[in-house]
Structure 1
Amino acid sequence: MLVLTLAVGAGATQVSQSSSLDQFQSETTESEKLSYIEGNFSTGQENTTTVQVIVRDENVLDKESLTEMLEMQAELRANESVNGTLAGQNAIVGIPNIVATAGIQGEIARELEPTAAEFERLNATVTSERSAIQQQTARLEQRAATLNETADRLERALQTIQQQSSVDARTQFEQVSANTSVELDAEDFATFNQSVQRLRAATNQSQVEAAFRLGTRGVLQSEYQQLQRDRATLEDRGNELESKANRLQSLGAELQRLQSRLENASSASLAAQREQLDSMNESQIDATITQVLSQNGGGGQAFAFMPTDYDPGSTDASATMWIVTQTTEGELATGAASDRLVNSQLAMETVVSAAAEENDDALVFGTGKISDEINRSMADSLAIVGPLALLFVVLALVVAYRDLLDILLGIVGIGAVLVMTFGFMGWAEIPFNQMFVAVPVLLIGLSIDYAIHTFMRHREERHNEYTASDVRGAMRVGLAGVGVALIWVTATTAIGFLSNLTSPVPPIQDFGIVSAVGILAALAVFGVLIPALKVEIDEFLEGRGIDRKKTAFGTGGGRFSSLLSAGSTAARKAPYVVILGAVLISAVGAVGGSQVDTSFNQEDFLAEDPPDWTKNLPEPFKPGDYSAKENLEYVNENFLRQDSQAQVLIEGPVATTEGMTELQAARTAAGNDSVAPNVQVLSDGNPDIRSPLSVMESVAAENESFNATFQQADTNGDGVPDQNVEAVYDSLFATAPGEAAGVIHRTESGSYEAVRMVISVEGGASGSAVTSQMRDIAGTVDGETFTATATGQTILFKIIQDQLLDTVIESLLITLVAVFAFLMFTYRITEGSASLGAFTLMPVVLSVTWILGTMFLLGIPFNILTGMITSLTVGLGVAYSIHLSERYNQELERADTMWEAMETAVTGTGGALLGSAATTVGGFGVLAFAILPPLQQFGIITGMTIIYAFLASVLVLPSLLVVWTRFFGPDHASVEDTPAATAAAAED
């Protein structure tokens, strides 16, 4: 057994830890659709998570507070743990950054405005003058061509005169004048006639050429001179135009630079943002805030950083939020935050808390922070309840055993059971989660039950005159007697645990398997290992003269015996009254139990700040501080929760007019307060809904080309494209591919298969309400052509909540049927009476209704732990009934009357039951001191379960056994306590 324990226990070093709520999800349509969304839509920056940092002050929008917040951000970036996780330069965004950026943009715009105006004016001037110069140049060129042509005509006229001396000069001149647009006057004719005379008088070639020059260029000299002057003037104008063009080019470059700065202002460095705020006075900052946070000022997503009760345009607010985007590097694939994220978010909390002024308050809310508190609450819970459970068990064993050696053997056995159980978890690769904090306490309580029953029966047999009183002989007889009961108890308890395999929630299945393995380990350890050790040690000690005979707890008379015999006394006097009273109490409990709520949400796993007395505990038992739950409640009440979203996935021919109509119908329903009152409304009065339509509207507002496509497709002006929808989608992907991919699924072939709506819901809204509302929204979509599915984390949590309720009902029914059949069968085989099995189970059925009624009275819901309470009640409670029924049936064989058998069974086994019940209740009761809330509730309700099971076994079961004996009992059982009956019994 020791070798087996070590071999199995070696796996304990391989046990991993997980606090992710994703592990509770099962395969459902909604979870499949959420996986489809994550695989086919761009759900934001890949492999990132967001952290909400909230700063509270008298006025977070004044210059001093805004500047301080930027300094906090600078300190965050300077922190190595934080900076290494930030997703880029603009990983931290909030109102301080938006205001500073808007200020930068405002300054650039003010500088840009006159530059743009001058550029436009000068551009118009240069364009106009360039056109004028071009026209003038063309006219001058035409004038030069005309003058040249006229000169050519005059030259041909002179040639004619030269060749024909009889030709009249005036006639030739007038012919030229008639065929040209140049106005030739009498003075020009005089010059022409003078050239004719010189030509006729010329005696050499030089005189001829001079005559020709005078008759052509000389005639047009004034015209050519004017042309030259006009050309000079035009050249001066060209030079001036070139100067203006150079100026225009400089203005263009400056304008481009300013526009580039304006476009890049949103990516301004933190240093630039701080410099900008420093340069602005309060009135400028107030004006900027009014601009970015007014309903008509284009505030848009800026309102997501403000409290939901913020008055748009106000320059006064008591709180604001930043969003810090961190890279995850795939660390959130299972929903659990890595040490890297946990450490970085804890560092954030330290930095912002230290940086906040005396009147300021800052809090950090993110996956890493929540994961840290859940993990710490598990560790702190174990650190507190583990020692307390052992301490209580030791004290109870001191009272029950009053023997140091037996106490030590019990503790060794508990250790062996825990080692084997956690070793199995390691070998089976079952992670340790929130539920498994209860496993050690559960096994401690159950294990000590086995120890008490084994040891008490051994002690009884050592004082029994009918059996061998030596150590080995008494243990042989004791184990033969109690061993059967232990086997039946193990089987029924394992059935109770394994009934959780029907649950669709994976961790509940794992819990059932591990607990069943643990109870089997308890049987092996306390049925084989510990009895063997006790025999060896007791024989060794008695061989050296040390008496190891001890009295069994609850026997030998006294106060405990009197208390334990109350049930047998009532059974002897009025068994039917006892049974009727128990049934009436059960009926009341059943009515209350039918009204117990079911709960599964993140808040369930967040601990309240521990009570003050725990702060005085020594290390390592002293718990840490817990603020996530308080912070979560504050965020829910005052801000948009970044992780509180639902989604509606629409599949089908979405790139059609009909698809766009259905999408608009769903968006309208989501924004209708009567349909979806829990949709988060920002402080500007608009619901926070993202869909293809909202993305189209935002892109159209910034891009003229897409806006033209968008408007052209909207023929009726209602803001919804009603034609060429596929072309609109194509244009949207071409213009803003990232934004489009976030809401539209386009396949590799270019077809459009699905769209989605992302709907922010109020953080504190119930999962039932949100799920119902989102399904109503999805229901507005035509189900014949399209498939619309409401999904998201909140909806998946509601499904788990429903599955918990199913688990409660199914596991109870399965456990009852299985245990009923098992007991009927085993008692028929071993005792010859199947009916005894049915009567043994009846008190447990009654105690189930009692515990459900108690849950209703205490306001304890069914959650991941308390949801197993019905099957646990049967599995744990039936042990008490089995021990008593088995002992009673054995005593009937050797007692004179049933009353004597009843008295012996109740006071003998009842003492062991009381001891085991006390230790088990104490073990579970210490869970009330756990830090993790579900553990507290589980500890309280399980402790009550054990109490009810014990009371039902010692108070109600005796009356049921009386009825069984009278109607179904063995023939030798005497039901009368008379001398005749005694003699008859003795004869038998």
Structure 2
Amino acid sequence: MSLSDQFSGIITNYSRLIIAVMLVVTVAAGAGAGMVEQSSSLDQFQSDTEQAQKLTYIEDNFETGAENTSSAQVILRGQNSLSQESLVETLRLQQSFRENETVRQTLVGDRPTVGVANLVATTARIGEQQRELETLVTEFEQLNETVQERQASLKEDTAAVNETRQRLRNALDTLREDLEASPRNVFDRVHQQAPVQLDEKQFTTFNDSAQLVRTAENKSQIERAYQQGTEGVLDSEYSALEQRQSKLKADSKRLKELGSQIEQRRSDLQKVEPSIQQQIDVLTAMNTAQYERALSVVLSADSTGPMNGLAFMPTDYDAGSTTANATMMIVSHQTNGDTGQGGTASQQLIDAQLTMQSIAEKQAQGADAEAIVFGTGILGEEINNSMGDSLAIVGPLALLFVVVALVVAYRDLIDILLGLFGIVAVLIWTFGFMGWAGINFNQMFIAVPVLLIGLSIDYAIHIFMRHREQREDGGAYGNDDIRGSMRTALAGVGVALVLVTATTAIGFLSNLTSPVPPIQDFGIVSAVGITAALIVFGILIPAVKIEVDGFLENRGYSRKKRAFGTGGGRFSSILSAGSTAARKAPVAIVLLAVLVSAGGAYGATQVDTSFNQEDFIAEDPPEWTNSLPEPFAPGEYSMKDNLEFVNQNFVREDSQAQLLFEGDVTEREAIQRLSDAQRQAANSSVVVTLSDGRADVEGPLQTMQRVARQNETFNATFATADTDGDMVPDQNIEQLYDELFAVAPDEAGSVIHKTDDGYQAVRIVVSTSGTAQMSDVRTETKQIATGLAGDGIETTATGQVILFDIVQDQLFDTVVESLLITLVAVFGFLMVTYRLIDGSAMLGAVTLLPVLFSVTWILGTMYLLGIPFNVMTGMITSLTVGLGVAYSIHMSERYKIELARTGEVWEAMNRTVTGTGGALLGSAATTVGGFGVLAFAILPPLQQFGIITGLTIIYAFLASVLVLPSLLVLWTRYFGPNASFDTTTTEMSTTPTASDGGQVEKSSDKQ
């Protein structure tokens, strides 16, 4: 007795025990389903490439923005978004954001909202403060000049008085020593030589002193005489000097006070911007001239520094113009490290941005304008909603279609319910495995339930149809017709089901070669799911059907039903087309298939590959979905249109490429390479050009040049380092970096990486156009990086856009590698299996050949329909092999059994295409319907996946019932067992005899 006979015997003999054990396993597996978490982040698709590592290095070592923050772009569109009224409304919108509890609790504490309106109001307010500061500075400068002049004059006059005093003292010495000397003559000589002019009154005082000197009797009288003859003579001069000194002290004190006031005003100018209400008051109070003057300052092409508002304007805005159809503001959120699973936005952030959108739309409607909120929270919410809405639509539709197809195929309520019960069990097993294994549910896994529904029902149809055939022909084992027929059916179809499961699992597991983690997970989960389908429908459902049918027949209800596609009729005639063609012109059929496949192979080389954010954003659902009842009705989706508008008109916050330079970045050659890189980047077609005509490129040179314009000290250092005046320093680079970090540490840290060991790396940030092709961004930045590497400098082009393009390349590699691996693995598996079981390895090759045809057909169809390889359709090649080979295996297995039974090729072929072909038609119909409903999904990749997978099933079915019969005939003729090809000895049976699990009743020599 064969292994399949023994195994089927265990199932049928111990059906109740089997049911109990399987139900326990189902409950245990289902416990893990509740642990499945959802993730929609595109970061999960990235693999550990060099570029990804370098981006992580940048995020860890450069100041890339405030930590644990996220930003949203709020775009306001109107007839003139730069009018004074529009900017006031913008400030009121910001005020509404800050007053709303849901939004306020996520906003950063320092300057949470910023846009043109804030800059204009702040500029106007700063203008007032600046004018006050200028008045103080003017007063300070004038007073300082006066004080300096007075200090110099006082110093000069004091020296003159002191010199005159000394001459008077010398004159008294002369008179004291020479009693004959004339006081008049001595005084006149002093008068002629001293810098201070002396008069007669002063001579009188001097003469009195001279007499006192000559008559003094002691030291005290002498000192008094000298005091009177010097300081006494110059008393008026010394009094004037004291008055001037007192005035100078008062001026110096005032000068110090002015200096303190100036420093305070300057400090005030650098403090946090005024409150929103203060900004509203400033804008409202401005007259037209004041408003336009402030607006021109903010939006001037020459504007630099923090007051430059051009970054908030459309890229086609004419700098300096007072009109524009849109403006943008940035809202900064504090995330506190609280992100959702897989790096997605937290629910708090999602709620905040959804609330912002509601507030903005309501206020914009009142102002006859339009508002767009673009951020990670609202984007993630739409992606998550589209996943849920897609499941809500396609899940019930898939089940409904399967039920309808089963009604047609089974025409029996009990069998339909058993099939649905088995599907539910398979889904429980699969999602339970995901939970226990910690695999997150992402966009790709929406296809898993549909996939498993289609594949599971295939198993049910094949087993139930074979069981019905056996019951019509009479059970082959024992008196229990139900158990005997099921045992025979399982033995007959069991090998095919195991082969189908193995080959399909191989197809899914080939995705493990993909470097894209979600594709690997999809392959694992799908392989587990198809294995679960084999176990459930190969063990549990047959056991349950035995018990249910036995229970009903014991109560007088007949459970005998005719197998679908047997007994003649239209379906039998249609299914016999392949058999008829194989009998008349098998070689022509094969050549025709090869010719069509050649055309498909050419189309396959033209299929594009796509991976970008837009792929996962749903479009607004069609109108027919509006009539769906809750909870099936989808929500509204506007992000795709909004994203397109942002890409075409604004600089996206998340659309950047970066050039990383590592090594000795303080060398003159390194700085020159930076200059070359920035110049090349600025001239690139993929880089955003702002409305002032400058490319949006930020690096160490731009940072140093900007700081130099704002800081006189650093400007002097920069000028010294730039010996040739080309704005590129060529000496003392390390000293220049040191001072840059001293005067502007945040700006320096954003482009330069500094450690205790010195300067390790610098980076250039390039804002790329949202409409630029990712491949162009990657190619151009890589060329820049590669061309500037060397001499101890390592350069790398990285950034989110580049990482997405790498994933895009990896998707194509996945398509090619998974197809080759699947083909080789399945080919080897079938060759070895058929060699061991039947002694003919060529039957394995013949069974696989129709699948190769269908692969080329489906790839050619993708080219004709313009469907690219993406994260979903990129698996279509391995999926085609995995799914398509099932149809071929069922046909080959049935043909092999019938050929052994009858020994006649045409009789065996006829029974195969009408018996197994009927089951294949039923399973193909349900699978196509199951996948076809994905066309109604909200997510575009799922729509494409559903369409292309449905066509894959159709092609696989057609190849198995139209092309494979001719291949089997040729195999029988040249490689198979001896069999009769005589078409006249016996009339073709219209109702095939049920197979007996491989038991040969008669044989015939090959005619």
Q: Which residue matches 1:683?
A: 691
Provide Cα deviations, 1:862-917, integer angstroms capped at 9, x if missing partner. 00010000000000011011111111111112225211111111111111111110
Q: Which residue matches 2:288?
A: 282
Provide Cα deviations, 1:923-974, integer angstroms capped at 9, x if missing partner. 0000000011111100000000001111111111111111111111211x21
Alpha-carbon shift at residue 109 of structure 1 (Å): 2.0
Q: Which residue matches 1:120?
A: 141
User: For structure 1, which segment, 242-251 or 735-744, has the greater mean C-alpha deviation from structure 2 after superposition?
Assistant: 242-251
Q: Which residue matches 2:11?
A: none
Alpha-carbon shift at residue 223 of structure 1 (Å): 8.2
Q: Which residue matches 1:271?
A: 277
Determine if the alignment matches structure 1 residue 103 to structure 2 residue 124: yes
Secondary structure in structure 2 of the residue aligned to 1:646: strand
Q: Output the amino acid matched with 1:706.
A: F
Q: Which residue matches 2:114?
A: 93
Distance 2:837 2:695 in 1: 69
Residues 508, 878 of structure 2: 8 Å contact kept? yes
Q: Output the amino acid matched with 1:372.
A: E
Alpha-carbon shift at residue 134 of structure 1 (Å): 3.8
Q: Which residue matches 1:712?
A: 720
Secondary structure in structure 1 of the residue aligned to 2:915: helix
Provide Cα deviations, 1:475-508, integer angstroms capped at 9, x if missing partner. 0000000111100100000000001111111111
Determine if the alignment matches structure 1 residue 693 to structure 2 residue 701: yes
Q: Which residue matches 1:787?
A: 794
Provide Cα deviations, 1:306-358, integer angstroms capped at 9, x if missing partner. 00000010000110111112222234595321112211111111121122234
Q: Which residue matches 1:61?
A: 82
Residues 425, 514 of structure 1: 8 Å contact kept? yes
Secondary structure in structure 1 of the residue aligned to 2:343: coil
Q: Which residue matches 1:640?
A: 651
Q: Output the amino acid matched with 2:280.
A: R
User: For structure 1, which segment, 561-570 or 534-543, has the greater mean C-alpha deviation from structure 2 after superposition?
Assistant: 561-570
Residues 932, 946 of structure 2: 8 Å contact kept? yes
User: For structure 1, which segment, 32-41 or 624-633, has the greater mean C-alpha deviation from structure 2 after superposition?
Assistant: 32-41
**TM-score normalised over the length of structure 1:** 0.93
Determine if the alignment matches structure 1 residue 858 to structure 2 residue 865: yes
Alpha-carbon shift at residue 157 of structure 1 (Å): 5.8
Q: Output the amino acid matched with 1:338.
A: S
Q: Which residue matches 1:511?
A: 522
Residues 126, 244 of structure 1: 8 Å contact kept? yes
Distance 2:892 2:38 in 1: 42
Residue 523 to residue 231, structure 1, CA distance change in 2 (3 Å): same
Determine if the alignment matches structure 1 residue 730 to structure 2 residue 746: no
Distance 1:112 1:891 in 2: 102
Q: Which residue matches 1:161?
A: none
Q: Write the mapping of 1:273-672 to structure 2, written as runs, cut at 5 A.
A: 273-298=279-304, 301-331=308-338, 334-356=342-364, 357-465=366-474, 467=476, 470-672=481-683
Alpha-carbon shift at residue 212 of structure 1 (Å): 13
Determine if the alignment matches structure 1 residue 806 to structure 2 residue 813: yes
Q: Which residue matches 1:832?
A: 839
Distance 1:196 1:656 in 2: 79
Residues 155, 215 of structure 1: 8 Å contact kept? no
Residues 657, 767 of structure 2: 8 Å contact kept? yes
Alignment counterpart, residue 847 of structure 1, candidates 842, 854, 863: 854
Residues 210, 225 of structure 2: 8 Å contact kept? no
Q: Write the mapping of 1:121-270 to structure 2, written as runs, cut at 5 A.
A: 121-147=142-168, 150-151=171-172, 154=175, 169=180, 227-264=234-271, 267-270=273-276
Distance 2:189 2:312 in 1: 86
Provide Cα deviations, 1:711-755, integer angstroms capped at 9, x if missing partner. 111111111111121221122122222111111122222x22211
**TM-score normalised over the length of structure 2:** 0.91
User: For structure 1, which segment, 476-485 or 190-199, has the greater mean C-alpha deviation from structure 2 after superposition?
Assistant: 190-199
Distance 1:110 1:67 in 2: 24
Distance 1:981 1:896 in 2: 14
Distance 1:426 1:650 in 2: 43
Residues 154, 216 of structure 1: 8 Å contact kept? no
Alpha-carbon shift at residue 95 of structure 1 (Å): 0.5
Residues 648, 758 of structure 1: 8 Å contact kept? yes
Alpha-carbon shift at residue 187 of structure 1 (Å): 11
Distance 1:231 1:952 in 2: 122
Distance 1:9 1:925 in 2: 27
Alpha-carbon shift at residue 91 of structure 1 (Å): 1.9
Q: Output the amino acid matched with 1:271.
A: Q
Residues 99, 289 of structure 1: 8 Å contact kept? yes
Distance 1:913 1:636 in 2: 48
Residues 151, 217 of structure 1: 8 Å contact kept? no
Structure 1 residues without counterparts, runs of 5 or longer: 159-168, 201-207
Residues 206, 228 of structure 2: 8 Å contact kept? no
Alpha-carbon shift at residue 980 of structure 1 (Å): 8.7
Alpha-carbon shift at residue 126 of structure 1 (Å): 2.4
Determine if the alignment matches structure 1 residue 776 to structure 2 residue 788: no
Distance 2:173 2:263 in 1: 54
Residues 389, 923 of structure 1: 8 Å contact kept? yes
User: For structure 1, which segment, 251-260 or 143-152, has the greater mean C-alpha deviation from structure 2 after superposition?
Assistant: 143-152
Distance 1:886 1:144 in 2: 133
State, as a whole percentage, how many aligned pairs show the same letter: 60
Alpha-carbon shift at residue 111 of structure 1 (Å): 2.3
Residue 179 to residue 584, structure 1, CA distance change in 2 (3 Å): closer
Residues 974, 981 of structure 1: 8 Å contact kept? no
Distance 2:83 2:243 in 1: 59
Distance 1:213 1:512 in 2: 116
Residue 475 to residue 985, structure 1, CA distance change in 2 (3 Å): closer
Residues 205, 232 of structure 2: 8 Å contact kept? no
Residues 435, 864 of structure 1: 8 Å contact kept? yes
Alignment counterpart, residue 943 of structure 1, candidates 929, 941, 950: 950
Aligned residues: 965
Alpha-carbon shift at residue 92 of structure 1 (Å): 1.0
Residue 824 to residue 210, structure 1, CA distance change in 2 (3 Å): closer
Secondary structure in structure 2 of the residue aligned to 1:715: coil
Q: Which residue matches 1:205?
A: none
Secondary structure in structure 1 of the residue aligned to 2:559: coil
Residue 179 to residue 42, structure 1, CA distance change in 2 (3 Å): closer
Residues 206, 229 of structure 2: 8 Å contact kept? no
Residues 155, 216 of structure 1: 8 Å contact kept? no
Residue 900 to residue 727, structure 1, CA distance change in 2 (3 Å): same
Larger radius of gyration, structure 1 or 2? 1
Residue 209 to residue 875, structure 1, CA distance change in 2 (3 Å): closer
Alignment counterpart, residue 917 of structure 2, candidates 910, 919, 930: 910
Q: Which residue matches 1:747?
A: 755
Residues 154, 176 of structure 1: 8 Å contact kept? no
Alpha-carbon shift at residue 104 of structure 1 (Å): 1.2
Q: Output the amino acid matched with 2:33.
A: A
Residue 374 to residue 220, structure 1, CA distance change in 2 (3 Å): closer
Residues 635, 641 of structure 1: 8 Å contact kept? yes
Structure 2 residues without counterparts, runs of 5 or longer: 1-21, 989-1000
Residue 220 to residue 478, structure 1, CA distance change in 2 (3 Å): closer
Alpha-carbon shift at residue 987 of structure 1 (Å): 6.7
Provide Cα deviations, 1:757-807, integer angstroms capped at 9, x if missing partner. 111110121111111110111122143432111111111111111111111
Distance 2:218 2:241 in 1: 33
Distance 2:248 2:200 in 1: 41
Q: Which residue matches 2:57?
A: 36
RMSD: 2.9
Residues 202, 233 of structure 2: 8 Å contact kept? no
Secondary structure in structure 1 of the residue aligned to 2:32: helix
Residue 395 to residue 195, structure 1, CA distance change in 2 (3 Å): closer
